[in-house]
């Protein structure tokens, strides 16, 4: 197995997906190390968790946002960036520098209900209003457009007649906590390959 991958995580809120990755690393199930937690929200719970678990944190400087952020990430010899509930657009230069090395998790079956404005409960309300019978979560590589990068893996849930946006959100979050660490683990083991311009996870 290759050396441990250095992982930088972006989060804006509770950081539950960040925590799910951390827990799998602590169990030595993921061959990586979280070297930094970046947030645009100094009061978010993800920052509190990081500080309590000796993970370095970085609050974005709005004045020198792009330049300082890229310098910080590159200084850590970052192998992988994970967007775990991060609500700001990533600067273009970072996206280009980390092409196919930046993951995002989205609470729908992309390309459905993705793009600008589709985040949080907006996604689940749209799924209900559409009359769809299934929804789910998607992990994809990040490109220059919101929720548009190559899809790596998806998991589905059934939408029941008595479901609402809140109940769907809770069930999808549970599968996110399994799906995202699964893909991070595959990346850290160099098991994401490309076939016909699409990423493919190979088995061990």
- CATH number, domain containing residue 135: 3.40.50.170
Q: What percent of the chain is modeled with pLDDT above 90?
A: 82
Mean pLDDT (the chain) is 93
Give the CA angle between residues 142, 169, 49 to the nearest 5°. Answer: 70
Find the domain containing 14 and state its range.
5-201
Q: What is the DSSP secondary-structure string of 10-76?
A: E-SS--HHHHHHHHHHHTT-SSEEEEEEEES-TT-HHHHHHHHTT--EEE--STTHHHHHHHHHHHT
177 is catalytic: no
- Which one, of 43, 63, 60, lies nearest residue 8 by Cα? 60
Provide the domain count of the chain: 1
- Of the pLDDT bands very low, low, confident and very high (cuts 50, 70, 90), residue 124 is very high
Report how far residue 27's alpha carbon sits from residue 180's, in angstroms, rounded to the nearest whole number.
Answer: 16
Report how far residue 48's alpha carbon sits from residue 22's, in angstroms, rounded to the nearest whole number.
Answer: 14
pLDDT, residue 60, reads 86
pTM over 0.85: yes
Question: What's the whole-number mean pLDDT along residues 43-50?
Answer: 95
Catalytic residue among 106, 124, 140, 177: 106
């Amino acid at each position: 197995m290759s050396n441990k991958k250095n992982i930088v995580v972006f989060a804006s809120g509770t950081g539950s997906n960040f925590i799910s990755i951390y827990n799998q690393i602590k169990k030595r199930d993921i061959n990586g190390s979280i070297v930094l937690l970046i947030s645009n929200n100094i009061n978010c719970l993800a920052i509190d968790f990081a500080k309590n678990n000796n993970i370095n944190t970085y609050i974005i400087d709005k004045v020198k946002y792009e330049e300082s952020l890229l310098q910080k990430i590159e200084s850590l010899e970052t192998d992988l960036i994970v967007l775990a509930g991060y609500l700001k657009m990533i600067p273009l230069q970072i996206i280009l520098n980390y092409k196919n090395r930046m993951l995002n998790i989205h609470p729908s079956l992309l390309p459905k209900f993705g793009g600008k404005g589709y985040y949080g409960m907006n996604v689940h309300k749209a799924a209900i209003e559409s009359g769809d019978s299934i929804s789910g979560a998607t992990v994809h590589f990040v490109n220059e457009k919101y929720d548009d990068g190559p899809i790596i893996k998806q998991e589905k849930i059934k939408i029941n007649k008595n479901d609402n946006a809140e109940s769907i959100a809770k069930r999808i979050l549970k599968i996110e906590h399994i799906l995202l660490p699964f893909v991070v683990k595959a990346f850290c083991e160099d098991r994401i390959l490309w076939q016909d311009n699409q990423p493919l996870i190979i088995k061990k």
